[in-house]
Structure formats: C-alpha cells, structure tokens
Amino acid sequence: MASVLFTEISELVTNRGVAKKGGVGVNEEDLGILRDGALLWDSRKGILWLGHDGDVPRGLARGARRVSLAGKTLSPALADCHTHLVFAGDRDDEFRRRLGGQTYQQIAAAGGGIASSVRATRKASESELYKLARARIDRCLSLGVGLLEIKSGYGLDWPNERKLLRVIARLKREYRSKVVIQATFLGAHAFPPEAKNGRDKIAYANSILRKMLPQIKKEKLADACDVFCDDGYFTRAQARRILRRAATLGLEIKLHADELADFGGAALAAELGASSADHLLMASDAGLQRMARRGVVATLLPATAFYLGLPYAPVAEMRRAGLCMALATDFNPGSSPTLHLPFAMSIACLQMGMTPAEVFAAATYGSARAMGLHSTHGSLRVGGKPKIAVFDCPGYVALISRMAHPSLCEKVF
C-alpha cells in the first residue's frame, strides 16, 4: 500500500492521553477514542492525518486509496513484551502432575520444569526450532500483535543459547515488515541441569558474565538481557552483576522479579533502572514504589498466575504507586502455554480487577514502553510510524470481552 485513507472507522483508538501520561493512571478518556474516525496512512511517511471522518482534508487525501472500516476498530497494534517463544518439546505431563497436587517448584526440583524444556531444546536443530517458532509467530500476528519480545533461555550453555539467539535473529530479519521483534538474552533463566552444586552454579553465572555477554555483543545477537531473579534461581547479587554488565554493553535490561517469593527483585529493577520488572506477584509495596520513582514498567503476566494457580499481581498497589503497567503472555511451555494476548487481557479484567481501558493501554503502549519502543509505537499521532492493527469488531472492548476469540484481527501493518 502507498497512501491509504481509512474511513468510517467505528472506533479509532489513538492512546493519546495514555502516551501523554507515560501509561500511568490510565482511564477511558486517555485512550483518545474517535468514533466514526478516519486515518490517512502512507507506507513511507506513516500517519499523515487522523480525525473525524467528516473532517478529512481533501488535498492531503488526494490519490489515496479509500478503505471503509465501518463496524471495525483501528488502534496501535498489540505488543507482547514477554515471551519464551523458541523451544522444542512440550510439558503436557507436568500439567497432569500439577493437577495431581505437585507445585511448579516441586516439579522443577524433580528434574522437570525448565530443565525438561532445556533437554528437548538442546536436541533440536536450529532449523527445527526456526520452523516451530515461525508457526507461533504467525499465530501472534493473527491475533493483532505487531511488537514481540522473544527470549532465549532454554539452552543454558553457550552453544545452545547462541543457537536460540541465532533463531531469533533470523526471525527478526524475516518478519521485519510484519512485526517488530526484540531479542532478549536469558541465559540466566535457570542453572543448567548439569550444574550439580553451588560451585557449578557460580561457574555458570560467571560464564554468562565473562563469555556469553561479550560474545553476544560481538555478534550483535541481542537487544536486551533478562535474569530470573527469584528463590532457587539467580540471586540478587548475581542478577546485579549480569545486568550491570549487560547495560554497559548497551543492552536494555529487565528482570523476572518476585514471581515465586518477595525476593527484592522490584527494588533491584529500580536500583538498576531496568526498562521493566515482570511478574511481581509477591513484590512488596516499597519495591513497587521504588520502581515507580525510577520509571520502571511493571509487566503483568496474568496467564501465568492463572495457569499455576498463584495469586495475581497486586494491581491496586501498582496503581497507588503510580506505575506504568504492561501486559504480556509469558508464552512458554511450562507456566503459560498460550500465545493469546487478548486472552491474558480478559483474565486481567475478570480476575485482577483492571478496567478494559487499563488493560488495553497496558497491552499496547505499556508493553511498547517495556520494550523501550514507546516513542514510535503504542499510540497514534500525526508523523508517527507505529505498528497498527485493524480488528473486525466495533470497539476495542470486544477484544477483551469475547474471550479468546480466535480471529478478530484483520490486519497488522
């Protein structure tokens, strides 16, 4: 498409106020919704004009192809800022075990969990992993996702972490016109299954610092670095060293924080100036307040709490603290085997007491901000070149209310 004038848009969601407020304290008005709207879009210059259908400036729209979006919604594309999308195998047996009463941690302690996906992923070739990932990304696109973060973390040694990062780099290149992919190095997802004692674990953490990070920088294999900082996983001291080093190498930094225990992850994210801290189910009020003061985004992953039967993240405290919230799937084979971001949005409304406006802002602007991409994406304004989605429903609420609808999205561009 060269120049296109979208007319008669039933709901044109701009996120104008959301962007102005940096995603904090969002209410319905901040979505900047225009009913019966129009938007003029140029494939090179981005958004040339937006407003009410009756006010389209004729001169500007001359020569543009007209597309009626009567009965449809046009908005910033959804952003899934937290996924573990590249892995092989499945963990369906663990589902049974959890239904039988075992916890996520008990299964992990018995050699299952992340280690089980690591074994399957190490066995898979780069091209097998690539094929599996492609099918998953196509599914994300069909749901309206235009920004997608993908983590490594099922390799847990350098050859295998590198293999995963190379798959992500290839996906990034090949999907460039369709979806913005952010590659995150999560070598610190867990200790490798062969690390039997404390010494081995320290050696692994050191190898991330001394070997993997410099090599990643050299080969330009990642945009961001994440650490699973929690009880039984990486300590705060280890996370601090790894993330500080990653930051000096120019990577965005983020954390899996306070998912299983109040481990001080939120405060560490604030101390380091991370772009986001994710999960936060057990985060303390003081930690959340520190994050808000430092401008760290709180990424909510409701599908994970739902799937593991854990308490949901403390949204009321996050609101009070004045945090920008993001919302993502956490797609992975063990704790959230769903790519359906709109389904996670439904859970956030139905189970966490968030409003549809908060949830929509979180899954668009908030997630773009968690990826450090909010100056371009997550809101619609003249001169901007964000990823945009068209949904076949008369308003954005339908995305959330029609739970897990398979195909409301018509197009992402």
Binding site for ligand NIG (CB under 6 A): 84, 113-114, 117, 228, 256, 259, 304, 330, 332-335
- Measured from the CB atom, the residue of 275 and 304 that comes closer to ligand NIG is 304
Nearer to ligand NIG, 234 or 360 (CB): 234
Residue 398, Cα to own-chain centre: how many angstroms? 21
- Whether 159 and 126 have beta carbons less than 8 Å apart is answered as no
Compute the least distance from the CB of residue 256 to ligand NIG, in Å. Answer: 5
Nearest distance in Å: CB 330, ligand NIG: 5
335 binds, among Fe ion, ligand NIG, none (CB under 5 to 8 A by kind): ligand NIG
Tokens of 5: 């004038």
Question: Nearest approach, Cβ of 278 to Fe ion (angstroms)?
Answer: 7
User: Least distance from C-beta 234 to ligand NIG, angstroms?
Assistant: 11
Using an 8 Å Cβ cutoff, are 124 and 160 in contact?
no
We find the least distance from the C-beta atom of residue 189 to ligand NIG, in angstroms, to be 6
* Residue number with CB closer to Fe ion (258 or 330): 330
Closest to Fe ion by CB, 82 or 122: 82
265 binding partner (options Fe ion, ligand NIG, none; Cβ < 5 to 8 Å by kind): none
Q: Which does 88 bind (CB under 5 to 8 A by kind): ligand NIG, Fe ion, none?
A: none
What does the buried/exposed string (b/e) look like for 366-404 if buried means 16 or more CB atoms within 10 Å of the residue's CB? bbbbbbbbbeebbbbeeebebbbbbbebebbbbbbbeee
Classify residue 362 as left (phi > 0), alpha (psi -120 to 50) or beta.
Answer: alpha
- The site for Fe ion, by CB under 5 A, has a size of 1
* Of 75 and 117, CB closest to ligand NIG: 117
Tokens of 322: 């004045």
List the structure tokens of 222: 């990642």
Strands 252-257 and 145-151: unpaired
What gap in Å lies between CA 113 and CA 118, rounded to an integer? 9
230 binds Fe ion (CB under 5 A): no
Distance in Å, CB of 304 to ligand NIG, minimum: 5
Q: Which of 291, 278, 264, 282 minimizes the C-alpha distance to 327?
A: 278
Q: Which helix (H) or strand (E) holds 184?
A: strand 180-188
Considering only 181-189, 231-239, 281-289, 327-335, which stretch makes contact with Fe ion by CB under 5 A? Answer: 327-335
* Residue number of the CB atom closest to ligand NIG: 334
Q: Are strands 73-76 and 65-68 parallel, antiparallel or unpaired?
A: unpaired
Residue 259 binds: one of ligand NIG, Fe ion, none (C-beta under 5 to 8 A by kind)? ligand NIG
Confirm if 328 and 348 have CB atoms less than 8 A apart.
Answer: no
The residue (of 144 and 334) whose beta carbon lies closer to ligand NIG is 334
DSSP 31-55: G-EEEEEEEEEETTTEEEEEEEGGG
| Structure tokens given for 413 | 């561009």
* Closest approach of ligand NIG to the CB of residue 285, in Å: 22
Binds 113, which of ligand NIG, Fe ion, none (CB < 5 to 8 A, cut-off by type)? ligand NIG
Q: Segment 328-367, which members bind Fe ion (CB under 5 A)?
A: 330
Q: Given the rule CB under 5 A, which residues bind Fe ion? A: 330
